[in-house]
Chain A
């Protein structure tokens, strides 16, 4: 046994007000959320019009009709992808993570000034990217593959976004280290565990896209280099791309694991298995990205098979989550009086938008998750790669499960930020259900159109061909788009109403837990070990792919192009 241990030096813990926020917290979290909403308003409202533009019946009825504001379809689609998937998500996740970390650890962020530096880096980045997008100088879609080249401000803006998030990672990790020093032997609250896993994963992954931007795209847009290699670029992008989708998903899981139990008066079934799920998602998000490259000519079958196997492994934590969250909902349903074996499924708090949004998201996630298993099966992928099926998949997962959960968070968090109750619970409920129905119709329609061969990322309203087998489903997905348009408007009206017009006091407190389950193994928090595992897996799973893509004999030979001019850059 050890001699007397010095009492741990505890930082002055901060206590947070009930039904309110501290001033500094309000500004920091509030700024991230408001900017997230602004980014979302640029992206979200274009979505339904894309669905209309792709529907033959709609274009027959209005042959002259074009996308609103941005008549060029691919400009609108670039804005939709970049604003929704890159900027809304990142601002939301950073703001949410700051909130979760401070509240759960009951301590301030390590360095608030650095948090603001990160915010302004990302914010200026947003401005630069918007400038390029709105002036039609970055209509290269949110994947911005070379040899297509956009205005330099687009890439500088993206770099500022990524650099900002690296500062966020540092801030969160150092805050955690301080907590750890003061709480030796304790388990970090699960919400913080998930948040750390998320930012570690993100920071490793962004190295790929940072190399792509800094060594290929940005110098090309400035005219400093003339050649690239598209296969290498796609390898670097998708090293980042799959962790990117988990970067969106993990905060939603944080809400399901740690907030939903409180919001439904239930209890989490197993905290340690929640940690295992987060850890597995963090580690196995790395060796799977080649499943986006199944149709690429420069990646061998062997590496495609290796990444397929890991893709099946990374499904396990989601099934773990299904069990754990299913048990939470079962307890909640039984407490509400459910008796029959499956009666609890129906006996949920459907009248509470915060709960209903998350359960609706889960319903969509079941459909979206299985659709993903299908096209992750490399041989089925031949039928589905780059078709509307893929759009169906990520609208049920990202625009379904993740976004509905983020909306659920906003429905309780914006009132805390503003110090006023949600403007209208009924509008929020209507929003959730129109979203659920709309996304189910949209997802089914796009999925079926994809099976019939309708390509994604295509302005069908102007296409030189029609696919009669897909027509019906493209039309039905436009009907889904109509529901989603109504839902989106309801959402923004409610957000503006809460920020500007609500005069009732806040009713719902933040669903935060401040303790971790002491039965969970401490090794799960040895982040250094897990980081080492990730790096080894990255080397093993991506090293061969990168070596195969790089041409050591000829080097890079593909010149760059502006998307609308079929003549290579630089122009004479």
Chain B
């Protein structure tokens, strides 16, 4: 089969470029450990109330790290609001009680699908004080567009003091 010379160069150039993109991505996952949601554990939606998710909310794990447990259901998140100090490292654990929902922190790097039967999880840090919105971004019925919660990141004395000490 005849392949034109120019076209061969084009193909090689395209393949090399795509190969470089792909390598960069694999590096971002396996070397730099950019996290994608991946399997944590399963949970039977009927047994949420017998699990740690019976009392969702923020758990202080010490050292400015937190575990944040959320339950999503039509059409609200519980808790509806959490407060964190600036610079906190938070691991979210989120489950759905009924149908599929989303857990998307606007202008941040958390983006989870919440599927009944699965525990979704992501870890992130909040360096910038302010109010962040958690949005349900997966269609979940007529109340979908009202399904929001807030994260308030506070510029506390303690964290400013720590920062000063670090500098």
A-to-B contact residues, CB < 8 Å: 72, 74, 141, 145, 147-148, 229-231, 234, 269-270, 272-273, 293-301, 304-305, 308-309, 312-313, 315-316, 319-320, 323-324, 373, 377-379, 381-383, 385-387, 452-453, 455-460, 462-465, 467, 469, 519-521, 548, 551, 554, 557-559, 561, 563-564, 566, 568
Q: Kindly list chain A residues whose C-beta atoms are within 8 Å of the C-beta of B11.
A: 316, 319-320, 323
Q: Kindly list chain A residues whose C-beta atoms are within 8 Å of the C-beta of B98.
A: 147, 561, 566, 568
Q: Is B40 an interface residue (CB 8 A)?
A: yes
Q: Which 10 A-B pairs have the closest CB atoms?
A: A455-B137, A297-B120, A566-B74, A453-B106, A558-B116, A463-B145, A297-B118, A386-B137, A230-B115, A563-B141
Considering the chains assembled together, what is the distance between the CA atoms of A536 and B143 in angstroms?
43
Q: Kindly list chain A residues whose C-beta atoms are within 8 Å of the C-beta of B19.
A: 312
Name 5 A/B residue pairs within 8 A (Cβ), A-sorted: A141-B139, A373-B21, A382-B109, A464-B146, A566-B73
106-161 of chain B: CB within 8 A of chain A:
106-107, 109-121, 133, 135-142, 144-148
Q: Kindly list chain B residues whose C-beta atoms are within 8 Å of the C-beta of A387.
A: 104, 137
* Chain A residue nearest in CB terms to B103: A295
Q: Contact at B138–A296, with CB atoms within 8 Å?
A: no
Query: With A148-B141, A465-B133 known to touch, is A323 a contact of B120 (CB < 8 Å)?
Result: no
Give 15 new A-B contacts, CB below 8 A, not counting A457-B138, A462-B145, A561-B98.
Answer: A141-B139, A147-B99, A148-B99, A295-B112, A298-B42, A298-B117, A299-B38, A301-B29, A453-B135, A456-B137, A458-B137, A464-B146, A558-B117, A563-B142, A564-B142
Minimum Cβ distance to chain A for residue B121 (Å): 7
Q: Contact at A457–B139, with CB atoms within 8 Å?
A: yes
Considering the chains assembled together, what is the distance between the CA atoms of A225 and B28 in angstroms?
43
Considering the chains assembled together, what is the distance between the CA atoms of A313 and B14 in angstroms?
10
Segment at the interface with A among B1-9, B50-58, B61-69, B82-90: B1-9
Considering the chains assembled together, what is the distance between the CA atoms of A315 and B13 in angstroms?
13
Considering the chains assembled together, what is the distance between the CA atoms of A373 and B75 in angstroms?
33
Considering the chains assembled together, what is the distance between the CA atoms of A300 and B38 in angstroms?
5
Q: Contact at B137–A229, with CB atoms within 8 Å?
A: no
Minimum Cβ distance to chain B for residue A316 (Å): 6
Minimum Cβ distance to chain B for residue A70 (Å): 13
Considering the chains assembled together, what is the distance between the CA atoms of A565 and B85 in angstroms?
38
Minimum Cβ distance to chain A for residue B83 (Å): 19
* Chain A residue nearest in CB terms to B135: A455
Q: Contact at A296–B113, with CB atoms within 8 Å?
A: yes
Q: Contact at B44–A557, with CB atoms within 8 Å?
A: yes
**Residue from A230, A298, A464 in contact with B145 in the complex, judged by beta carbons closer than 8 Å:** A464
Map CB proximity to A onto B1-36 as digits: 1 under 8 Å, 0 otherwise. 111100100110011001101100110111000101
Q: Contact at B115–A270, with CB atoms within 8 Å?
A: no
Q: Contact at B146–A452, with CB atoms within 8 Å?
A: no
Considering the chains assembled together, what is the distance between the CA atoms of A304 and B34 in angstroms?
13
**Residue from A453, A551, A561 in contact with B99 in the complex, judged by beta carbons closer than 8 Å:** A561
Q: Contact at B7–A273, with CB atoms within 8 Å?
A: yes
**Residue from A272, A379, A458, A554 in contact with B25 in the complex, judged by beta carbons closer than 8 Å:** A379
**Residue from A313, A320, A455, A561 in contact with B102 in the complex, judged by beta carbons closer than 8 Å:** A455
Q: Contact at B36–A458, with CB atoms within 8 Å?
A: no
Considering the chains assembled together, what is the distance between the CA atoms of A294 and B111 in angstroms?
9
Query: With A74-B144, A386-B137, A387-B137 known to touch, is A319 a contact of B10 (CB < 8 Å)?
Result: yes
Q: Contact at B148–A465, with CB atoms within 8 Å?
A: yes
Q: Contact at B107–A296, with CB atoms within 8 Å?
A: no
Q: Contact at B111–A382, with CB atoms within 8 Å?
A: yes
Considering the chains assembled together, what is the distance between the CA atoms of A373 and B22 in angstroms?
10
Q: Contact at B4–A554, with CB atoms within 8 Å?
A: no
Minimum Cβ distance to chain A for residue B66 (Å): 20
Q: Kindly list chain A residues whose C-beta atoms are within 8 Å of the C-beta of B73.
A: 566
Q: Contact at A147–B148, with CB atoms within 8 Å?
A: no
Q: Contact at A383–B118, with CB atoms within 8 Å?
A: no
Q: Contact at A297–B40, with CB atoms within 8 Å?
A: yes
Minimum Cβ distance to chain B for residue A462 (Å): 5
Q: Kindly list chain B residues whose C-beta atoms are within 8 Å of the C-beta of A148.
A: 99-100, 140-141
Q: Contact at A269–B4, with CB atoms within 8 Å?
A: yes
Q: Kindly list chain A residues whose C-beta atoms are within 8 Å of the C-beta of B117.
A: 229-231, 298, 551, 557-558
**Residue from B25, B26, B39, B75 in contact with A548 in the complex, judged by beta carbons closer than 8 Å:** B39
Q: Kindly list chain A residues whose C-beta atoms are within 8 Å of the C-beta of B21.
A: 312, 373, 377
Query: With A270-B7, A297-B113, A561-B99 known to touch, is A378 a contact of B118 (CB < 8 Å)?
Result: no
